[in-house]
């Protein structure tokens, strides 16, 4: 693949489980860029809330969480041998723990809290300040990097997305049903798109990529073509 040497910022937003992180990792690898999974940050704060019993039913104890925000330190490492990105909460690897259905079920409650978003956005902007970054999430092109040179808005039908996530969870040994996964995805789509702060929406200058019927390779090629256009 022919690739330009100018390093840009690539924002990939879109619905839950439409393969944003897979394609974002592939793009980062192809370009020699850094990949940042912003959803992992919200998942990590959610895990912290669960571990500290800050969620009762559908309510997060925002008062306690606010007081504890400074004790939440999130960072990422990359294992070049396995090509895996690893998420850390303080001194603990939480990569597996943040992918459970329990965290997926609660994450929308935590990611709609203003002070949580503020801290995560700051961290994301800091990580991406030098460019050469691919970041995926819900508000990357609209809030985190409104000046990103390339913005992609990814989507796929909820059936296709549920199938993919279900297969992923099963292969990771998680016990769930396809229906549970589909309901979780649709619920998160609704909350993400309807929350007050930084709702999921397509940036005006984003390129829409519906990958329901695209292979991994086709998606990657489409994005690399767009990068080449932007860096010419």
184 binds ligand DC (CB under 6 A): no
Q: Does 108 bind ligand DC (CB under 6 A)?
A: yes
d(CA 127, CA 133): 9
Taking the complex as a whole, how short is the minimal distance between the CB of residue 165 and ligand DC, in angstroms?
Answer: 9
Binder among 12, 26, 28, 38 for ligand DC (CB under 6 A): 38
Q: Does 35 bind ligand DC (CB under 6 A)?
A: no
* Cβ proximity to ligand DC, 32 vs 114, nearer residue: 114
At closest approach, how far in Å is the CB of 20 from ligand DC?
7
Asked whether position 9 contacts ligand DC by CB under 6 A, the answer is no
Q: Which residues contact 124 (CB under 8 A, 6 or more apart)?
A: 36, 38, 41, 135, 137, 140, 144
Does residue 42 bind ligand DC (CB under 6 A)? Answer: yes
Residue at token pair 């994450």: 107
Contact between 106 and ligand DC per CB under 6 A: no
Binding-site member from 47, 139, 156, 227 for ligand DC (CB under 6 A): 139
For residue 14, the number of C-alpha atoms closer than 13 Å in the C-beta half-sphere is 28
Residues in contact with ligand DC, shown as a per-residue x/- string from 187 to 216 under the rule CB under 6 A? -x---x------------------------
CB of 14 to ligand DC, least distance (A): 9
Beta bridge partners of 207: 152
Comparison of 15 and 33: residue with beta carbon closer to ligand DC: 15
Q: Is 39 in the site for ligand DC (CB under 6 A)?
A: yes
Which residue in 9, 16, 155, 184 binds ligand DC (CB under 6 A)? 16
Cβ distance 109 to 56 under 8 Å?
no
**Within 10 Å of residue 118's Cβ, how many Cβ atoms?**
12
- Residue from 4, 15, 11 nearest 206 by CA: 11
Do the beta carbons of residue 33 and residue 133 sit within 8 Å?
Answer: yes
Across 25-83, the runs of DSSP E, i.e. the strands, are 34-37, 55-56, 59-60, 74-79
Compute the distance between CA of residue 129 and CA of residue 38 in angstroms, rounded to an integer.
15
Minimum separation from the CB atom of position 112 to ligand DC (A)? 7
Binding site for ligand DC (CB under 6 A): 16, 38-39, 42-43, 107-108, 111, 137-140, 188, 192
């Amino acid at each position: 693949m022919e690739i330009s040497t100018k390093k840009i910022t690539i924002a990939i937003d879109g619905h839950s489980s439409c393969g944003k992180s897979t394609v974002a990792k592939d793009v980062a690898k192809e370009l020699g860029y850094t990949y940042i999974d912003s959803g992992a940050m919200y998942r990590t704060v959610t895990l912290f809330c669960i571990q500290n019993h800050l969620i009762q039913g559908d309510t997060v104890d925002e008062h306690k969480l606010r007081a504890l925000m400074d004790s939440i330190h999130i960072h990422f490492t990359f294992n070049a041998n396995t090509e895996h990105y690893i998420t850390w909460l303080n001194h603990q690897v939480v990569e597996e723990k943040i992918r459970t259905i329990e965290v997926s079920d609660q994450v929308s409650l935590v990611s709609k809290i203003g002070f949580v978003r503020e801290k995560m956005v700051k961290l994301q902007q800091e990580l991406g300040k030098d460019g050469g970054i691919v970041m995926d999430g819900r508000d990357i092109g609209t809030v985190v990097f409104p000046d990103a040179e390339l913005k992609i808005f990814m989507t796929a039908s909820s059936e296709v997305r549920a199938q993919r996530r279900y297969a992923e969870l099963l292969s990771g040994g998680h016990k769930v049903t396809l229906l549970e996964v589909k309901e979780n995805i649709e619920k998160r789509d609704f909350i993400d798109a309807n929350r007050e702060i930084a709702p999921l929406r397509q940036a005006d200058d984003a390129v829409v990529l519906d990958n329901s019927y695209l292979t991994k390779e086709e998606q990657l090629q489409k994005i690399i073509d767009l990068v080449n256009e932007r860096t010419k």
